[in-house]
Structure 1
């Protein structure tokens, strides 16, 4: 299924000299700039009746028309998967994602994802990019995510993420005892030798993580991490980069670390915690409709909470 989109307007006189894609994003703010660029490249945007180009400079006063088909997201099947919905309204939905749930379908993993679940919960999300998912959490990271339920909300939230104004705070249990918090400002890109991993590399994209100490234990530290950017595996890579890998991280944590003198209970707890100890505890953003800042906070799931109790008991 698809929806026919027809838009028309006039380029403002004061926009003279600017790029067409920039002006279109302001004229038709319901749609993202990237989507409008795509429609322009496909010949669906006319300027004074003639096909336009993305980087074309406008004169001001031109008539602009957009005729396009808004296609549903294809090849992703709706599935009845239970979700923990923290909040929802007509514009957004806030989900408390459990560890173990993949966010997007991928090769060899087309079913059982958050996107499949969202399409079952709200079929209208089929016309929103990626069923409204604007940011992601790793499969084995738990916690809060926001989903855009309309194109307007999607455009707003993507813009906030790009402007680094979405508040995201995480709880992480790391190896080693930190004496103080700090900031990791180090670019992240693909590992030069292992393409399945990320790493701090000079050619990577800018990445900034702020961390502060919440609790110190005998051999571990519970930290709060606040993200400025949202690179793949950012917290896991940054904490490993400063030699404080996350407990249970199978990719960046190295071999299993059992502290000297650990009790049998602590030893077993560490051996059986087989995911990174990372939880997205707090999420804040400007609501696309009301313009007010909204926020939510959820405590970590049972497995994380039990691990913390065992670590505390030893300390």
Structure 2
């Protein structure tokens, strides 16, 4: 049971819950409330539009989000393999591939590719639903084989489970924060980036009150921690290694923007968006310059530490070179 206290100027109940648990849509919270599964000051309520007063105590469990697994189709899609055995499949997700089906993406996703790889009934690999959220990198239970997500245009390491047992085991590691995830980011240079060593950004994240597509650093948001280390820099740009210690929606993008060092190619968070090569004038990287470089996880059956490392994409290297940054890797 989760217990929350409303602050000054708290909104209606369903919005209050959606702001704190961004992985659950507000419409799903409204259903949860109408089923009288949320209490305010110890009493069940049945309307998502219930107005909260400062100091009101809200108690609830996270709703179960049901994925339409029974309607998924297996598709023969190319996904480079970084590690594979009978329990895990760590892939190098390409830019532009969506992790699971959703509005506008009925197929062609990582989940469709996993089903083809396994030739296994969906029920055999569909783990328990409901989990702590992660970013676009957040945890993604409810979908067969998924234990975390990457944004559509983020490249690199994505861990998939081949059995329900493996899915539950890896999800537990994400919740315990024992999974190591390191990203590479090309950003606008900022004096707030670390000069030597690393910097721990420990700033809570919440959904923007007006722009529901964006997340922001905000008091009262969900705890979020990112460790940053600058690998190369010029007067205008930097290559940054980002270690996710928690997993919130858009966490790296939000924390970098908070330091005034937004990702190149990320106009949603203030990053410059277009570069052209010197020859043909082609776009070098038309999306956020973020690469899920390394992932380490304990094997859910053997207990051995498994390490995945995704090669840096050519487009990422080309952009770095155009910015005068040498990638020392």
TM-score (norm 1): 0.70
Q: How far did residue 144 of structure 1 move?
A: 0.3
Match of 1:294 in 2: 306
Match of 1:303 in 2: 315
Aligned length: 240
Deviations 1:130-154 (A, max 9, x none): 1211001100000001111111111
Give the match's secondary structure for 1:74. helix
Matched residues in 1 for 2:307 and 2:264: separation? 28
Task: State yes or no: 1:173 paired with 2:186.
Answer: yes
Matched residues in 1 for 2:280 and 2:233: separation? 18
Task: State yes or no: 1:239 paired with 2:256.
Answer: yes
Do 2:147 and 2:171's aligned partners in 1 also have CA atoms closer than 8 Å? yes
Tell me, which stretches of 5 or more residues in structure 1 are unaligned?
1-70
Matched residues in 1 for 2:306 and 2:121: separation? 22
Q: How far did residue 168 of structure 1 move?
A: 0.3
Match of 1:152 in 2: 165
Match of 2:48 in 1: none
Structure 1 residue runs of 4 or more that deviate by more than 6 Å after TM superposition: none
Deviations 1:1-35 (A, max 9, x none): xxxxxxxxxxxxxxxxxxxxxxxxxxxxxxxxxxx
Do 2:188 and 2:263's aligned partners in 1 also have CA atoms closer than 8 Å? yes
Matched residues in 2 for 1:235 and 1:226: separation? 9
Larger CA Rg, structure 1 vs 2: 1
Deviations 1:146-198 (A, max 9, x none): 11111111111001000110000000010015452411111122111111222
Task: State yes or no: 1:207 paired with 2:224.
Answer: yes
Deviations 1:100-136 (A, max 9, x none): 1110111222111111111112132612231211001
Deviations 1:18-77 (A, max 9, x none): xxxxxxxxxxxxxxxxxxxxxxxxxxxxxxxxxxxxxxxxxxxxxxxxxxxxx9922222
Task: State yes or no: 1:251 paired with 2:247.
Answer: no
Q: Relative to 1, partners in 2 of residues 1:150 and 1:199: Cα closer, same or farther, differing over 3 Å?
A: same
Higher helix proportion (structure 1 or 2):
1
Do 2:267 and 2:273's aligned partners in 1 also have CA atoms closer than 8 Å? no
Q: How far did residue 266 of structure 1 move?
A: 10
Matched residues in 2 for 1:156 and 1:101: separation? 25
Matched residues in 2 for 1:76 and 1:308: separation? 38
Tell me, which stretches of 5 or more residues in structure 2 are unaligned?
1-66, 127-142
Match of 1:163 in 2: 176
Q: How far did residue 282 of structure 1 move?
A: 0.5
Deviations 1:193-218 (A, max 9, x none): 11122222223211100000101123
Q: Relative to 1, partners in 2 of residues 1:145 and 1:256: Cα closer, same or farther, differing over 3 Å?
A: closer
Matched residues in 1 for 2:183 and 2:156: separation? 8
